[in-house]
Chains A and B, each alone.
Chain A
């Protein structure tokens, strides 16, 4: 069953550019939806499975992006090495931060992660000699995969979608592993999980680091794909957006998070035509979805469809 889902998704993703060749919308929106989906799948491991909220996830996304940007533009570092360095930096910072920050619960945890995100953002704006300040860094070379330069829209689409499939595969496997079961126990009741002999501190630390690695990976790809980074791409709004994607897709569902990310990316693209009304409509939709479908868009819609189906059956009987 799980395999079928994965292959359906892979085939669908591969068919899109074949069905719409040279379609700018599919390529550009596909790439940004794919990146968002990687971020959401990673964040869902932390939020959905372990039940820990993070309002500062854009910070790890930014660390990956800025590490790649700085190393490739300043030191002519090969892009794969820069990507690895970004993963290491984000991973180490997440590891150091995990113990003290994941001791916190509920709103205190929300505050602490939010604060961390703001601090990293301020550093990006202020540490001008390193980060280029508010203007950011440009001229980032295309990603170079052992001699194969990723420099066309189609190639980017292929790379990002491959990365997304990798992320989904990793996430599905992780969830079904010993760690995944430990995490779900932590979400159910941390106390009970401890009683069962689970080192909850360690489990939470591991998932926080993994989730940060997903984000930094997406960040590196983002930097190369845009060939430009600025602090605006990693602010609080982005962190909030990521949380929204995960919740919209339905917590604790890998495909749900990916679909939530794709839905929200499409929504943004669609709302652009409303110009100044975009913000108001965006806010109203967010509220409406959470009020009427608190379990997420997909569970909400499928429940609604089932209810309709039942009504129809009753009417015919």
Chain B
């Protein structure tokens, strides 16, 4: 029993790391533009699929990963420039449909480029499982957890220690005030989309060896990332990370002890329960309405 529990925890943290990265992307974009980007999952899919395509074209893994990430960042920037910038200040429903449209569009392009098949990707450092106590651990899981930790720390440092990060944070508090103190809000908006697309792409590349990838791979991942961001209190980057890990672990426990078929239902039931009792998420600000 304890070994089993440990095994589920390992699986949960691996998947949760992924949700955390996607949730982090959601939070960064939400902060900068008040938009929930439903195409976030498609960044993950694009990163994975592009990396797989580049690998099979003969590029070495590190190069393929970097090029795939940069290409996804470019897609994020294009999305911001042509779909988000023209509609700044639009109602929630409009932005939701625009980003859902973008997600369908990107999925459609992936379908044309790579077909409907599942594409495998070799693990970064072999497939030999590592035995730890009674549980087995894939080396790729270590990669996922390690790189996620590194990225989360870097994002935190970026927001807390660099001028650029602080400027981006200032935009999320009050765009007009940020503009008045000389921050170029438009550049910050692009930065947020680029950063978020890059995080998504890296998440996709990290997980592809474990789950394979297809043109539809981004849908559920995007929704789970959104859940992570909501559970953590939307607009709170570290809350999103915590929410992602929590969601991943709960899902793995639910799949292990109850039924794997119901794992998505368990995850979303948890999200609903959180919202029913804490309508602004676990770590969200309690906002007072201004009338």
Contacts and interface: CB of A to CB of B under 8 A. Distances in A.
Interface of A: 47, 53, 55, 100-101, 103-108, 110-112, 114-116, 118-119, 122-123, 125-126, 189, 191-192, 236, 240, 243-244, 247, 251, 276-287, 290-291, 294
B261 A112 contact: no
Nearest to A126: B261
Contact of B96 (A110, A126, A282): A110
6 contacts: A111-B226, A111-B271, A126-B262, A243-B96, A247-B93, A290-B97
Given A53-B92, A107-B234, A111-B226, A290 B279 contact: no
Contacts of A281: 108
B269 interface: yes
A251 B94 CA distance: 11
Nearest to B100: A240
Interface of A is mostly: helix
Contacts of B98: 286-287, 290-291
Interface stretch (B43-51, B54-62, B82-90, B133-141): B82-90
A243 B259 contact: no
Interface string B25-37: 0000010000010
Contact of B234 (A108, A236, A284, A286): A108
A294 B268 CA distance: 30
A47 B93 contact: yes
A125 B101 contact: no
Interface string B260-284: 0110110011011001100111000
Q: Which 4 A-B pairs have the closest CB atoms?
A: A283-B105, A280-B108, A286-B101, A279-B108
Interface of B: 30, 36, 83, 86-87, 90-94, 96-98, 100-109, 111-112, 219, 223, 226-227, 230, 234, 259, 261-262, 264-265, 268-269, 271-272, 275-276, 279-281, 289, 291
A283 B280 contact: no
Contacts of B103: 283
B215 to A, nearest CB: 9
Contacts of B230: 107-108, 111
Given A110-B36, A118-B264, A286 B100 contact: yes
A283 B112 CA distance: 14
Contact of B97 (A106, A276, A284, A286): A286
Contacts of B101: 283-287, 290
Contact of B291 (A118, A192, A285): A192
Nearest to B39: A283
